[in-house]
Structure 1
Amino acid sequence: MKDKLSAHQETIAILSQQKDAQIKLYKTQEDKELDKFIELENKVKVLDNIVYKTGQSVQTMNMLNNKCRTSFAKPEFLNKAQRANPHLYDIGCYNDNLALMLAPDTDEVIRL
């Protein structure tokens, strides 16, 4: 009877050790998965910022583009309108005025 009792106690001790080992293994795997998840979230944030900044850059480039789209369906009508009123379609003068408006009023020179 004592032999059976000691055998059962050994079995219980072995099973409790296996249980503790499984719990530790599960916790380490869970920690690794959480670390991976946090790392992927950070990568997503960085990539979202890149996409957002790229979109802003494209929008800025489109705003600064010299070629403006007109409402004319055919280029022949645009050419006819340009010949009739050339000063209305001179975009260069508007860009020069814009550059003058955005220029600082001080005499400081920026040196690179």
Structure 2
Amino acid sequence: MWELPPLTETLDEIRRHIESGQPAIGAWDGHRLVGSVRGKADGERMEVARLSVAPDMGGRGTGRRLLEAVTGAAPAGVRVVWLFTGGDSVQSLWLYESAGFTRVDERQDDFGIRVTLEKKAI
């Protein structure tokens, strides 16, 4: 089993992303941030990045709503929204495919099988 490195960023890196005007969406339960996602647009394509949901909030639709929100927030001109996940990430693959994403590539990388999925922007 491959171990993925932690997804770490500095506060300044997060601020730069938010200030860039690229989509950055949070899901809140009162004062608690329980999920987040970001988009990284490049021309006609936008990557869905950093989708995360607090472990105790899984299975409540938070991830699906975040995915829908970031797809809907794609800047004008974006025609395709894409993302990748691990081939062993059964729950993630189910979520993405049930949300309309289609597998377009599978390849071996340093962490195992990487699956790329995409769908047309809303």
TM-score higher than 0.5 here?
no
**Higher helix fraction (1 or 2):** 1
Q: TM-score, normalised by structure 1?
A: 0.22
Greater RCO, CA 8 A, separation 6+: 2
Q: TM-score, normalised by structure 2?
A: 0.20
Larger radius of gyration: 1
